[in-house]
Amino acid sequence: MLKEERHQAILNEVELHNRVLLTDIAEILGVSIDTARRDVKELDEENKLRKVHGGAISLSFTNYSPGHNIYALPQKTKIAEKAVKLLKDGGVILIDGGTTCLELARLIPLKLKLTCFTLSLPVAMELLSKPNVEVIFLGGVISKEAQIAIGANAVHHLSEIKVDYSFIGTGYVDAVYGLTEFDWDIVQLKKAVIKASKKAILLCISEKLNSQHRYKTCDLNEIHTLITELDPEDIMLKPFRNQQIHLL
Amino acid sequence: MLKEERHQAILNEVELHNRVLLTDIAEILGVSIDTARRDVKELDEENKLRKVHGGAISLSFTNYSPGHNIYALPQKTKIAEKAVKLLKDGGVILIDGGTTCLELARLIPLKLKLTCFTLSLPVAMELLSKPNVEVIFLGGVISKEAQIAIGANAVHHLSEIKVDYSFIGTGYVDAVYGLTEFDWDIVQLKKAVIKASKKAILLCISEKLNSQHRYKTCDLNEIHTLITELDPEDIMLKPFRNQQIHLL
DNA sequence: TATCATCATGCTGTTTTTTGCAATAATTTA
DNA sequence: TAAATTATTGCAAAAAACAGCATGATGATA
């Protein structure tokens, strides 16, 4: 059997079933494990599939890029960079929805070992590319706009967990009125998130500071740390300084 | 024997079998290996075939688009088109993971009113663009490879629902051995999906027919309808005809 | 017809590629 | 952490590719 035929057979198997074991290749094609491994390695180098421990998987599973343009991305990236530094190996965290939180998910180092809960579809998709992050999606009815799970079911799931850190966003935040939202459903959810976490970290671009809306999520003192893209000493953060909240 | 005749004979062989060995050329045409090699080399330079170590393969054999695009998309689209016709306004369905099911999600008409459960992140993302589809994600630990929720939590969620139709995929299917999978976890999940549905519809490209693997999901008679890209009368479906299963 | 150039073919020896095996290291899994 | 599986590395045998050369056929030309 020609090598190219083996390659074709392996690719076909991977495309059809998304994965294949080296031992299966060896058996089906009647070659040694070593040859199967070499074949897979070559196909990997040609970017025809991805070699993994013990076998190979299809590329279509590893490639996901949201790619849309995100508003105020540089600021959000800066916030996410600060937030990443709080993560510890072996930690259990929750990541909320929203583009800032998505940015945090994106910046999680590949070698960092985490257990990560989320309610956000985009965040969950992003986390798929982190080999050492166990992803747990808290299910429920999906909100089309926010792309997150909401409703009683999601809230109930949250009542059953307690994470080290939760990284949350907010629609509006004010030094006096605390965190507020446009949506009643979202407020219920965020309350539950905060209750489910030992420490709640708020990721928020400075543009949202000193704004408020209809429904209240919580007071500022329920938030452990506020991360903005600003220097913690920035004048804009002055109203937040004389509170228990940490600034980063 | 003239060189041109040999060339024609070699090309003929390659057309017929997609491949040929140098040793076979030499033997069949009664020339030395070197001549066979030279012939193949010339044909390669003329782009009539591709020379590889030990022989030659047909050009069509090697032209193969890897990665991002979905394997056998036309077939899967055809299957999805058939499946969409089963959907009724106001129906409650479940859509499994996999590219075929994703294609079904994509083809759901915008005006169709549905309640749709799913375990698959990509399917859920796709359904976000359907304004009249209520999406409910059944949460759990996310499998990085399959991009679906798995584990006890997901199975438990499934035990609490009953949908009209579930549209499922399978790794392998055989008329005698039924549906089988590579993964134990996935089998548990599919069992639960089938149990949670009044009628289970299997979406499966014909290439997967008559294949099997380690772990068994269910017998064929637990599936209500099998949809392939083939005509229901196709000869390939013969082994599936004398069963209770419907063919589409 | 004789001579020469060209080309196809097969042979020889050398180099490269492929493949399987064994020992060791790294990794997963229980 | 220990056991099992998988990777890596080096090596050797076999197969194939390659380069160079000799032979013989062909065909053009003097």
pLDDT tens track of chain B, all 248 residues? Answer: 788 999 999 999 999 899 999 999 999 999 999 999 999 999 999 999 999 999 999 998 776 555 567 889 999 999 999 999 999 999 999 999 999 999 999 999 999 999 999 999 999 999 999 999 999 999 999 998 889 999 999 999 999 999 999 999 999 999 999 999 988 989 999 999 999 999 999 999 999 999 989 899 999 999 999 999 999 999 999 999 988 899 99
Handedness of CA A161, A162, A163, A169 (dihedral sign): positive
Residue for token digits 């800066």? Answer: A78
Report the alpha-carbon distance of residue A11 to residue B70 in Å, rounded. Answer: 13
Among chain B residues, the shortest Cα distance to A117 is held by: B141
Note which residues in 100-119 of chain B have CB less than 8 A from chain A: none
Strand locations in chain A (E): 19-21, 50-52, 55-57, 91-95, 114-118, 133-137, 140-143, 148-150, 163-168, 172-174, 178-181, 197-203, 215-218, 225-227, 246-247
Residue B36 CA to C1 C1' — how many Å? Answer: 37
- Cβ within 8 Å, pair A63-B64: no
Q: Which of B55, B70, B137 sits opposite A60 (nearest CB)?
A: B70
Question: Which residues on neighbouring strands pair with residue B196, listed in sequence order?
Answer: none
CB contact under 8 A, A59 and B67: yes
- Chain A residue numbers with beta carbons less than 8 Å from the beta carbon of B139 are 136-140, 149, 157
Is this structure's pTM higher than 0.85? Answer: yes
Per-residue model confidence (pLDDT) at position A132: 87
A76: CB within 7 A of chain D nucleic strand: no
Question: Which of B54, B59, B61 is CA-nearest to residue B25?
Answer: B54
Report phi then psi at A13, rounded to 5.
Answer: -60, -40
Per-residue pLDDT, A166: 97
For B132, which residue in chain A has the nearest alpha carbon? A144
Asked if residues B207 and B72 have their Cβ atoms less than 8 Å apart, the reply is: yes
**Are B178 and B220 within 8 A, CB to CB?**
yes
